[in-house]
Copies of this chain bind each other. A is one copy, B any other.
Amino acid sequence: MSGTLNKVMLIGHLGDEVKMHYFEGGGCIGRFPIATNETYTNKQTGERVTNTDWHNVVVRNKAAEICEKYLSKGDKVYVEGRLKNRQWQGEDGNTRYSTEIQVQDFTFLTTKKESMANNQQNGGGNSQAAAQSSQKPAQASQPSHSVSEPEDDLPF
């Protein structure tokens, strides 16, 4: 079924640190914002204008741990994933909506943290490197397998 495509590709800078959430079953999730810029020349005034867009990025499990380990605020990263609309009840009882990028693949373009970090984190679909620092390299080569798990058991 399906015959559809839902793909987002971003290159941008982290606006904040990776925030981790750990679940009882052992899974985890990391969240961080990425900024992309758009610059153009206003035709009326001739001045250059820069707009920033902020994107809510969500990474899971092994991939989340690698992001937390190597990425920090200000780092540049390539991120690939799916657009996902999420809604939840705000504290005031109103329904809130947000759009997230659920990461399937990423690669570090700069990192301020430890040096051997720049691993391509793959969506399982190609044979690129995962964290060499991993204890389980064989498994680490499909880290985002867990990204694709059913979400029905995750409390968020």
Contact = CB atoms under 8 A, between A and B. Distances in A.
B38 A126 contact: yes
Contact of A124 (B3, B76, B108, B125): B125
A44 B3 contact: no
Contacts of A98: 97
B3 A76 contact: yes
Interface of A: 1-13, 35-44, 46, 48-50, 53-55, 76, 78, 82-85, 94, 97-99, 104-105, 107-109, 116, 118-120, 122-129, 132, 137-138, 141-142, 144-145, 147-150, 152-153
B50 A1 contact: yes
B10 A53 contact: no
B128 A39 contact: yes
- Among A1, A35, A138, A149, max chain B CB count under 10 A is at A1
Given A8-B7, A99-B99, A137-B41, A2 B125 contact: no
A127 B3 CA distance: 13
Nearest to A94: B94
Contacts of A84: 53
A31 to B, nearest CB: 16
B85 A42 contact: no
